[in-house]
Amino acid sequence: MTVSIINGTSHQINLFSTSDTLTIQNGRKLILRPLGLNEDDVEDLIVAYQRLEEEPGCFEWQQQIERLSSGGFPQPVKVIPPGTNLNAVKQNLPAPQLDVDFVDFLLKGAVVFEYHDPIPQADIVIVSNLFRSAVKELGSDTSRLATVDGVVYKDGQDLRPCGCTALAVG
C-alpha cells in the first residue's frame, strides 16, 4: 500500500534515522552524528560540546568538534520536497490592561484563528504547528495532519534545523 504525502509547507522535509543523530546539551538538542566515528569518538564529541557550552568560544573545544566532524554527515533516509504553504488567518484579541509602567514594547492579546486553508486530499499532510493549531481550534479534523518531530541540527552550534527524525501525525 502506498501512502500519499503532501507537504503543506514551503520547506523541504529531511527525515533522518535516529541512529544518525546524537543528543547534546543535556538532552535538549539532536545533531547529526558525523560519519566514521567510533563510540569513543562519539563520547569525545559529546564532551567537547558540553565543554564548549561551559566555555563559549573556546578555540580548543571548537577545534576538537571540527576534527571529529571532518568525515561528513549522513544523508536523510527520506526527502519530501517543499509544497505550497497552507495558511491560517489569525487575529489578536485586545491587549490586556496591565498596571505596570515598565513595558516599553507593544503588547497584543492572545491569537485566535478565524479561518484556515482547505486541507488537501492525501493520507498525510505535513503542516506547520501554527496551521495545525488553527485547524484544531476551529474544530476541524487533524487526524491526517503531521508536523515535524525530533528536530535535527547539523551540529551543536547551528541555529537552523536541517531535518527531523519523525512526523507526528494526528
What span, in angstroms and rounded, lies between the C-alpha atoms of 45 and 24? Answer: 9
Provide the pLDDT for residue 157. Answer: 86
Which of residues 43, 68, 93 is at a domain's end? Answer: 68
Rounded distance between C-alpha atoms, residue 69 and residue 85, angstroms: 34
pLDDT > 90 in the chain, percent: 84
Going by the DSSP 8-state scheme, the letter that residue 9 receives in this structure is S
Distance (Å, whole) CA 87 – CA 66: 40
With a CB cutoff of 8 Å and minimum separation 6, the contacts of 94 are 109
| 148 and 164 Cβ atoms separated by less than 8 Å | yes
88 and 128 in a single domain? The answer is: yes
Q: Based on the fold, state whether residues 106 and 48 are members of the same structural domain.
A: no
Q: Do 93 and 151 have their domain in common?
A: yes
> Are residues 107 and 150 located together in one domain of the fold?
yes
- 63 burial type by CB count under 10 A (0-12 exposed, 13-18 middle, 19+ buried): exposed
The residue segments making up the domain with residue 155 are: 5-14+77-169
User: Is the pLDDT at 103 greater than 70, yes or no?
Assistant: no
Looking at the structure of the chain, the number of domains it has is 2
Is 83 found in the same domain as 10? yes
Residue 88 is predicted with a pLDDT of: 96
143 and 100 in a single domain? The answer is: yes
Instruction: List, for residues 127-150, the tens digit of each pLDDT value.
Output: 999 999 999 999 999 999 999 999
41-100 residue pLDDT tens: 999 999 999 999 999 989 999 999 999 999 999 999 999 999 999 999 999 998 887 776
For residues 159 and 123, membership in a common domain is answered with yes
- Per-residue pLDDT, 131: 97
Question: What was the pLDDT predicted at 14?
Answer: 98
Do 105 and 133 reside in the same domain of the chain? yes
Please name the residues in contact with 124: beta carbons below 8 A apart, sequence gap of 6 or more: 3, 4, 5, 6, 144, 146, 167, 169
